[in-house]
Structure 1
Amino acid sequence: MGELVILFLFAITLHNLEEALWLPAWSNQASKFQKPVEKSEFYFAVIFITSLAYLSTFFYLFFPNSTIAKYILIGFLGSMIINTIFPHLLATIVLKRYAPGLLTGILLIIPINSFIIYQFFQNNELTFRALFLSTLIVGGMLLSLIPGLFKVGKYVTKQFY
Structure 2
Amino acid sequence: MILEWLDAHLQILTVFWLFPIIFMFHDFEEMLTIEKWTKHHKEQVFKILPESIHKDFYSSFQMTTLQFAHDVFWIFLTITMSTVLAVLFSFTFLFLMLLAIFFGHVFTHIGQTLILKRYTPGVLTAIILVFPYSSYAYYRLLSEHIISGTEIFWSLIGAILILPILFLFLVHERNKATKTSYRI
TM above 0.5, yes or no, is yes
Structure 2 equivalent of residue 75 of structure 1: 97
Structure 1 equivalent of residue 135 of structure 2: 114
Corresponding residue pairs, total: 153
- Distance in 1 between the 2:132 and 2:152 partners? 16
Gapped regions of structure 2 (runs ≥ 5): 1-11, 50-56, 180-184
Q: Percent identity?
A: 24
Given candidates 69, 74, 85, the residue that maps to 1:59 is: 85
Measured against aligned partners, the alpha-carbon deviations of 1:4-28 in whole angstroms (never above 9, x if no partner) come to 1111111101111111222233332
Q: Which one-letter code corresponds to 1:75 in the other structure?
A: M
TM-score by length of 1: 0.80
Cα displacement (A) at 1:79? 1.3
Structure 1 range deviating more: 97-106 or 127-136: 127-136
- Runs of 4+ deviating beyond 6 Å: none
Check conservation: 1:20, 1:43, Cα contact below 8 A.
Answer: yes
Cα displacement (A) at 1:41? 3.6
Measured against aligned partners, the alpha-carbon deviations of 1:19-52 in whole angstroms (never above 9, x if no partner) come to 1222233332423465424124433222211211
Measured against aligned partners, the alpha-carbon deviations of 1:30-85 in whole angstroms (never above 9, x if no partner) come to 23465424124433222211211111111212212xxxx21211121121111010
Structure 1 equivalent of residue 63 of structure 2: 38
Structure 1 range deviating more: 104-113 or 131-140: 131-140
Cα displacement (A) at 1:126? 2.7
Structure 1 range deviating more: 8-17 or 129-138: 129-138
Given candidates 10, 29, 37, the residue that maps to 1:26 is: 37
Gapped regions of structure 1 (runs ≥ 5): none
